Amino acid sequence: MIDGQGRTIDYLRISVTDRCNLCCVYCMPPEGVEWMPHADLLSYEEIIRLCHLFARLGVRKVRLTGGEPLARKGLPQLVAGIRAIPGIESVSMTTNGIALAEQLPALLDAGLSAVNLSLDTLDRAQYAAITRRDKLEDALRGLHAALDAPGLRVKLNCVPMGENDGQLVPLAALAQDHDLAVRFIELMPIGLGGGLPGRTEEEVRARLEAAFGPMIPCSETLGAGPGHYFTLPHFLGKVGFISAMTHQFCHQCNRVRLTATGFLKTCLQYETGVDLRALLRGGADDGVLEAAIAAAIQHKPLRHHFGDAAVQRADERHNMHQIGG
Ligand code: SAM
Ligand code: SF4
């Protein structure tokens, strides 16, 4: 559907759980967080019912995220249920990859189209420091399982945060020998992200060009998102950037987000949206739900104001592990 600013909204990101098996420094506090009771999360039946309505309103692509989506039992069942909805063209997932190697065969059978795997470093000690868990080997097994899966589109997401400056070149180098898009995501001042020294796209590019030579912009877009991509000499894959801070892309935003507890968030920064779980559990029929979704999308904010203290009314109810990035 078209929002109040004339943008086409055809992409829905669904956080299926607030739980996670890692505790990344920019996402969760060291002491962890209190997980939501399971009954507060949308059930798979509720998610699938909502997805039918979103598809009727024009959503074509769905991404499952978290928390860690693979921490929720029976995810292939959800993937298959969403894939079967008329109008839905792809179901993808953003994961830390820890449990991916084990679960990938069932997810592929269910119709998973693509995987984005988050990995900020290839150094074991640094990985343990950033994620507060010593699980780099599991993440790498997940990455290689995804790369070996025929037909699965794979992207790697890295958040440059100062600490991993020395790992940006080794991570980009993964795209040298693999048909993989390695993307650098500018740290956003959401939750704990505000306390770390993120790196800008220009800073990362300077490091990569010093190592690999000039980066050549690609006209091609990959997937449904705001990433822009470059090729490098002798690279099989691509290097991309998602630069919400220095290259704002809100004018072409195509997405809305459903939190694990069923709040439809129409902008990553703000609390604007609608509590669909309250409507669902209050007995609303499909017509009421569809109208509520359409009204929320009509009022989707024009843009974020990260970094603009004067207008920075951040969402204080939802953190990144509840929204899903
Ligand atoms: N657990 C899964 C994972 O890590 O891929 C999915 C959820 S995680 C919240 C989704 C993405 O958000 C990850 O790639 C993570 O690096 C990114 N992220 C979390 N906090 C962020 C922040 N403040 N700024 C930019 N990206 C962030
Ligand atoms: Fe978990 Fe992803 Fe947050 Fe890291 S970024 S703590 S993997 S939800």
pLDDT in tens, 188-229: 887 788 788 899 999 999 999 999 999 999 987 777 678 899
Q: Which residues are annotated as a binding site for GTP?
A: 13, 63, 94, 155, 255-257
Per-residue pLDDT, averaged over 100-117, amounts to: 98
- What per-residue confidence (pLDDT) applies to 315? 59
Mean pLDDT within 242-254: 82
Compute, in degrees rounded to 10, the torsion defined by CA atoms 203, 63, 36, 127: -40
Summarize pLDDT for 44-101 with one digit per residue, the tens: 999 999 999 999 999 999 999 999 999 999 999 999 999 999 999 999 999 999 999 9
**Number of helices (H), then strands (E), in the chain:** 11, 12
State the Cα–Cα distance between residues 27 and 191, nearest whole angstrom.
Answer: 7
Nearest to 159 by CA among 132, 179, 188: 188
Q: Give the ligand at the shortest distance from the Cα of 155.
A: 1
Q: Which of 68, 161, 183, 185 to mutate to test the pocket of ligand 1 (most atoms within 8 A of CB)?
A: 185
Task: Give the integer Cα–Cα distance in Å for 255 and 14.
Answer: 11
Q: What is the pLDDT of residues 299-312, one digit of tens each?
A: 887 776 666 554 45
28 in ligand 2 pocket by Cβ < 6 Å? yes
Total-model pTM: 0.93
